[in-house]
A = this chain, B = another copy of it.
Amino acid sequence: MTTQPNNLDQWFDHYADRASGLAASEVRALFAVASRPEVVSLAGGMPYVSALPQDLITDSINRVMRDRGPAALQYGSGQGLPALREQILEVMALEGIQASVDDVVVTTGSQHALELVTKLFINPGDVVLAEGPSYVTALVVFRSFQAEIAHVEMDEFGLVPDSLRAHIAAVRAAGKTIKLLYTVPTFSNPAGVTLSWQRRIDVLEIARENGILVLEDNPYGLLYFDGPPPHAMRSVEEEGVIYLGTFSKTLAPGFRVGWVLAPHAVREKLILANEAAVLSPSSFTQSVISEYMSVADWKGQIGTFRDVYRERRDAMLTALDDYLPDLDWTVPNGGFYVWVTLPNNLDSKSMLPRAVKELVAYTPGTAFYADGNGRSNMRLSFCYPTPEFIREGVRRLSTVVNGERELLNTFSQTAPLTIAPPARSMINPPANLS
């Protein structure tokens, strides 16, 4: 959204101050481009729903309509369907979380949980600490409530505790209030790295000492490839963590069902916020998911997704090794994303039009920073295209990168060029690839 006056908008001076934070993300503009069939999109975060047992889902829907149609078609509770909340406890138990069904609030995807938590806690000017880089639409939400975002450094083991301490001290020295630490500790979006167990303990301890609520966003934790990741942070800290989960990656995003697990007093307020925003999450899609979980081998299905995405991750890493061996990238043990660092002052954002011309799309690193960092990074997602298309996408990308390098070399031999300095990459590639 532009914050410049728009002669075509007679209501321009009516918008709330927070509306200026509602900017179109760089990811958003990409969606239109990347949806053209000839483009190999390594840009999106769409799960491969074609791997779902669609017959089983259809059967579940038919049973819902037959056995409890009027209830599924009706308004529901602002907290969500009790039967589904019980099943959500089973999902979270897989990552070590013990909780009461009373403390789960079902939301319209975990995105809406992010929105509700932010609405509940953030005054204009409050600071949210977030990994650098962070999930782009979380940053959009924080900004839409006028939060300031302070990025904490990451390395291949996730959030760096010393950097966290330093940022807390610096923000407080500037007289600002820190409300939340937002983190995707497992198979992070976009960096693809995982916070080690010891660091989880350290980060929770730092948060506790400083009275900062941890907002743990965990959409990918069950989608591991080489062995289970550390348990969720919420598994060892009940009062200091608001935990977000979702069925969008392990089942289907089209249902828009996620959840928040919050300390008891907080969850009461989240229910009120949920009711104000949507009255109740969809009874229908909640009922379908609950029925599916009660009859399907949903854990086995998550195993199927692991196999699908493992093969795609491997295809991407192999293609990067083959086509772009001198670049740096992270090696995710799960999730959807590889984070690539470009060499030689290449700028991922200005390179994007050339990439689209070569029929490949990615997300520029700047989308994942609130501070302009990330120009030398790009996020490549391996969740949606088949292994063959992933390989072809990376091949096309190598044409773009190599072409851009040649161009820069040519120019640098003929005339001085003003090029933005590369942003410091917060993610060091793992030793075996650097």
Q: Give the interface of A toward B (CB within 8 A).
A: 1, 6, 8-12, 14-19, 22-24, 28, 46-47, 49-50, 52, 54, 57-58, 61-62, 65-66, 69-76, 78, 108-109, 111-112, 115, 119-123, 126, 137, 140-141, 144-145, 179, 213, 239, 248, 252-256, 263-266, 268-269, 272-273, 275-285, 287
Contacts and interface: CB of A to CB of B under 8 A. Distances in A.
A10 B74 CA distance: 36
A254 to B, nearest CB: 4
A275 B115 contact: no
A248 to B, nearest CB: 8
B61 A275 contact: no
B255 A10 contact: no
A276 B253 CA distance: 15
Contact of A70 (B50, B75, B140, B287): B50
Residue from A70, A121, A137, A284 having most chain B Cβ neighbours under 10 A: A284
Contacts of A141: 276-277
A252 B287 CA distance: 14
A73 B1 CA distance: 29
Contacts of A54: 65, 69-70, 73
A90 to B, nearest CB: 22
A283 B76 CA distance: 19
Given A10-B265, A73-B255, A108-B108, 7 more contacts: A11-B265, A49-B70, A108-B282, A119-B144, A252-B284, A253-B279, A284-B285
A273 B22 contact: yes
Given A65-B58, A73-B254, A256-B281, A144 B8 contact: no
Contact of A16 (B70, B115, B120, B144): B120
B254 A11 contact: no
Nearest to A35: B77
B278 A72 contact: no
B16 A253 contact: no
Nearest to A32: B77
B50 A252 contact: no
A276 B143 CA distance: 10
Nearest to A180: B14
A197 to B, nearest CB: 25
Contacts of A283: 253-254
Contact of A120 (B19, B66, B75, B253): B19
A226 to B, nearest CB: 27
Contacts of A263: 9-11
B74 A253 contact: yes
A43 B231 CA distance: 45
A264 B8 contact: yes
B255 A1 contact: no
